[in-house]
């Protein structure tokens, strides 16, 4: 399963990329707004660091505007994936942008029918938001299972990009279900490394070695 960082923060991205486990980045308008300043320059820098798919979202709400913005975003770097929200306008824009050869991520997916529609119009990725569904007492991971099953039944090449990930259990369940990608905040990726028994084990190995005085 591929692992993306869900962030527009250069420090977080620069800290995680050298680990060799990061396959791409997702941003959204809220994440880029948090960073402020020149968002195009920031996206370019992120692409240079990650050298992998980097989602950048349009903010227009009509199809023509989304296509225009999508083309502008795609011109920033070859790694840019144009992100469009799942609306009727977003579906039309996805089809146009995909037919022009752009990679498109259809975001704000909350049902299997939305994912099916996005796949039919050539989305490279669909982004179902699991955490936000959990927040309203609906299982986010059930949605992932349904989408993985549906895409597997046909010849869709659209990848399931699990988004709104809040903790390691989301990642484990997504991997067990065969989802293609999880995009996670930096803190969630950090959490994947942690286990107290690893820390205790290493401390004991080093103490025993020191006690024995071996050279």
Task: Note the residues at the interface with ligand E4P (CB under 6 A).
Answer: 6, 26, 28, 107, 127, 129, 131-132, 163-164, 183
Q: How far apart are CA 67 and CA 102, in angstroms?
A: 10
Q: How far is the CB of 212 from ligand E4P (least distance, A)?
A: 49
Q: Which is nearer to ligand E4P, 147 or 163 (CB)?
A: 163
In the bound complex, what is the minimum distance in angstroms from residue 32's beta carbon to ligand E4P? 10
Q: Which residue has the tokens 């049902």?
A: 111
Looking at beta carbons only, is 56 or 148 nearer to ligand E4P? 56
Which spans in 22-177 are helix H? 29-35, 39-50, 63-74, 88-99, 112-120, 130-135, 140-153, 168-177
The yes-or-no answer on residue 194 being catalytic is: no
- We find the least distance from the C-beta atom of residue 49 to ligand E4P, in angstroms, to be 18
**CB-nearer residue toward ligand E4P: 97 or 163:** 163
Q: Roughly what angle, to the nearest 10 degrees, separates helices 88-99 and 112-120?
A: 30
- Catalytic-labelled residue, pool 2, 11, 34, 83: 83
Q: Which is nearer to ligand E4P, 45 or 132 (CB)?
A: 132
CA distance 70 to 205: 54
| Cα-based distances in Å from 35 to 10, 11, 195 | 9, 11, 31
Least distance (Å) from ligand E4P to the CB of residue 171?
A: 13
CA distance 77 to 36: 20
Q: Toward ligand E4P, which CB reaches closer, 110 or 129?
A: 129
Q: How far is the CB of 196 from ligand E4P (least distance, A)?
A: 26
The token pair at 108 is: 């704000």
Torsion angle of alpha carbons 137, 139, 93, 83, nearest 10°? 90
Catalytic residue list: 83
């Amino acid at each position: 399963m591929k692992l993306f960082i869900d962030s527009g923060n250069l420090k977080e991205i620069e800290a995680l990329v050298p680990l060799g486990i990061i396959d791409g980045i997702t941003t959204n308008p809220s994440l880029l707004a948090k960073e402020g300043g020149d968002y195009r320059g920031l996206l370019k820098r992120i692409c240079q660091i990650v050298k992998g798919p980097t989602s950048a979202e349009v903010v227009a709400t009509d199809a023509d505007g989304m296509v225009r913005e999508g083309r502008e975003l795609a011109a920033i770097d070859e790694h840019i994936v144009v992100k469009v929200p799942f609306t009727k306008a977003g579906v039309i824009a996805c089809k146009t942008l995909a037919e022009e050869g752009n990679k498109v991520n259809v975001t704000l997916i909350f049902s299997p029918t939305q994912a099916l529609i996005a796949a039919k119009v050539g989305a490279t990725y669909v982004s179902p938001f699991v955490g936000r569904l959990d927040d309203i007492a609906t299982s986010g991971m059930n949605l992932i299972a349904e989408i993985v099953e549906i895409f597997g039944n046909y010849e869709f090449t659209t990848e399931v990009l699990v988004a709104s990930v809040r903790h390691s259990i989301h990642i484990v369940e997504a991997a067990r279900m065969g989802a293609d990608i999880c995009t996670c905040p930096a803190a969630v990726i950090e959490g994947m490394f942690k286990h107290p028994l690893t820390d205790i084990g290493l401390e004991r190995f080093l103490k025993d070695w020191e006690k024995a005085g071996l050279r």
